Amino acid sequence: MKYEFIRENAEIFPVEKMCRIFQIHKSSFFRWRKRTPTAKSVRKAHIIKEIIRIYHWSQSRYGSPRIAKELDSIGIKVSRKFVGQIMKENHLRSIAKSKYKKTTSPPRNNRSAENRLEQIFKAARRNEIWVSDITYIETDEGWIYLTVVIDLFDRKVIGWSISETMSAKDTSIASLTKALLNRPLQNNQELLFTQTKESNMPAVSLLLY
């Protein structure tokens, strides 16, 4: 509490004098201030994390104006300029929508993946339903992506991958490959493997013979 008081009043009173009054070493205060984040820095880190989360949730489609609106909807009020600056610092660029005019009908066999899970996150046996998700972790060298695969039967993590890119090869496919090694399927066993929107792939059904 003494250190916090000194930090909050450093612009009003001399730090050295406040340290003498509280009977603490000035060097101790400066070491504490260096390793203790301020409320402002904590809030900024939270906002940066939300900006990156919304950007990836939109599959890289949202620019700074749209992200600023999304932040406002969850109670975080920041300017579009600030969002743009954070996106630039983290190399986040929105994907512009191409102007496409439909001139032909799609092939009859080009069907969307069927929603077989229907938001029922329960399984009666092992290797019946696996789900995958991606989260973002900040490191000293930048952001990395952790992809996990969970068996809904016992809620255990059975596969995972850590990558520097969002490509399916490094995230979804890599974690699924490890899951199949950790929990091999039996012959003629059907597995429903579903992924979140952020993995940029629809739900798929795998059948191993």
pLDDT tens string 167-195: 788 888 899 999 999 998 877 778 888 77
User: Same structural domain for residues 27 and 49?
Assistant: no
Give the mean pLDDT of 109-120: 52
**In the chain, how long is the greatest CA-to-CA distance?**
81
Q: Residue 149 above 60 pLDDT?
A: yes
User: Same structural domain for residues 145 and 192?
Assistant: yes
Question: What's the CA gap between 71 and 79, in Å, rounded?
Answer: 10
Of 144, 129, 127, which is closest to residue 195 (Cα–Cα)? Answer: 129
In this structure, is residue 158 part of a structural domain?
yes
pLDDT tens per residue, range 127-146? 888 888 888 777 776 778 88
In this structure, is residue 116 part of a structural domain?
no
Give the mean pLDDT of 98-113: 48
In this structure, is residue 148 part of a structural domain?
yes
User: Same structural domain for residues 145 and 164?
Assistant: yes
Task: Say what the pLDDT of residue 199 is.
Answer: 42
User: Same structural domain for residues 137 and 180?
Assistant: yes
User: Same structural domain for residues 139 and 186?
Assistant: yes
Of 133, 134, 34, 138, which is closest to residue 89 (Cα–Cα)? Answer: 138
Task: Say what the pLDDT of residue 127 is.
Answer: 86
Question: What's the CA gap between 162 and 141, in Å, rounded?
Answer: 14
In this structure, is residue 94 part of a structural domain?
no
In this structure, is residue 114 part of a structural domain?
no
Cβ contacts of residue 174 below 8 Å, gap of 6+?
Answer: 147, 161, 163
User: Same structural domain for residues 43 and 56?
Assistant: yes
Percent of the chain, pLDDT > 90? 8
Give the mean pLDDT of 124-129: 85
User: Same structural domain for residues 187 and 151?
Assistant: yes
User: Same structural domain for residues 23 and 51?
Assistant: no
- 50 close to 74: Cβ distance less than 8 angstroms: yes
In this structure, is residue 176 part of a structural domain?
yes
| Ramachandran category for residue 23: left, alpha or beta (phi over 0 → left; psi -120 to 50 → alpha) | left
- 80 close to 65: Cβ distance less than 8 angstroms: yes
In this structure, is residue 51 part of a structural domain?
yes
User: Same structural domain for residues 54 and 21?
Assistant: no
In this structure, what token pair is assigned to residue 205? 């059904």
Average pLDDT over all residues of the chain? 77
In this structure, is residue 6 part of a structural domain?
yes
User: Same structural domain for residues 139 and 179?
Assistant: yes
- Which residues form the domain of 183? 129-208
Q: How many structural domains comprise the chain?
A: 3
User: Same structural domain for residues 11 and 54?
Assistant: no
User: Same structural domain for residues 68 and 18?
Assistant: no
Predicted TM-score (pTM) of the model is 0.46
